[in-house]
Amino acid sequence: METFNVRVSLQQESIFNVEIEAADSEDAEEAVQVAVWEDEYTDEIRQSLEILDEQYDAEEICPECKRWIDKCECKEDE
Ligand SMILES: [Zn+2]
């Protein structure tokens, strides 16, 4: 078995509704935006999350020095 570093790239979308009390619509949007950034809707985000695109890129690495296998100089030292 070889060792690989796999770079995971996900394009995700999350659409959900939040009910909130506010002075006006601008105030409501701002309050919800702050709450999103402060991780107050992690459950809602997780439940509504859809993966739109995904990419996995595996590169073999040296298990000892963690460098790409073609940049590894471990074996040359032996
Ligand atoms: Zn190495």
The domain tally of the chain equals: 1
pTM (predicted TM-score): 0.66
3-state secondary structure of 19: coil
Q: How far is the CA of 63 from the centre of ligand 1 (A)?
A: 7
Q: How confident is the model at residue 77 (pLDDT cuts 50, 70, 90)?
A: low
What is the domain range of residue 50?
Answer: 3-77
Q: How far is the CA of 6 from the centre of ligand 1 (A)?
A: 17
**pLDDT digit string (tens) for 11-35?**
999 999 999 999 999 999 999 999 9
Q: How far is the CA of 72 from the centre of ligand 1 (A)?
A: 4
Q: How far is the CA of 54 from the centre of ligand 1 (A)?
A: 29
Ion ligand 1, residue ranges at CB < 5 A: 62, 64-65, 72, 74
CA pair distance 66, 68, nearest whole angstrom:
7
Q: What is the DSSP letter of 14?
A: E
Q: Which residue has the higher pLDDT, 77 or 23?
A: 23
Name the region of 66 (left: φ>0; alpha: ψ -120 to 50; beta: rest).
left
